Amino acid sequence: MATPRYDRPVRLLYGRMSNTPHSYIPVAVEHLVGYSTAQPSLFKRNQLEPVKDLKVLVKDYTPIAHNAITILINISNDKEVLENLASDKAFLETLVQRITVRHPIISLAKTQPAI
């Protein structure tokens, strides 16, 4: 298996994650956490497609879900992103379930305050 290149996390912002090998997703999502505070506008590409992908990753195993939730928290101060998150009932149900059932991951999230 080839070592993931540094630019792979950024590629997630430009295309569907279904085109990305699953082995790259944990590393890619971890690298995207920094972009969520430094360049949150990247997550608004293609009608919030990266936000939609992150909402799906909240259902993934804990390390991926943890980073996905951290990113969503960091970018949720944007009105368009917040409206998208707040209007998605299925996502909200998933989020509440992840927070309250078995392995709560929200307490593990280390977010950086928006500047």
Q: How confident is the model at residue 104 (pLDDT cuts 50, 70, 90)?
A: low
CA 86, 104, 84: angle at the middle one, nearest 5? 15
Residue with tokens 């082995």: 23
Structure-block tokens of residue 57: 């990753």
d(CA 85, CA 94): 12
3-state secondary structure of 59: coil
Residue 23 CB contacts under 8 Å (≥ 6 apart), including other chains: 1
pLDDT in tens, 54-75: 999 998 888 888 899 999 999 9
- For the chain, the domains span 8-107
Looking at residue 60, what is its pLDDT? 84
From 58, 7, 61, 2, select the one nearest 31 (Cα to Cα): 7
Q: Give φ, ψ of 91 to 5 degrees.
A: -65, -45
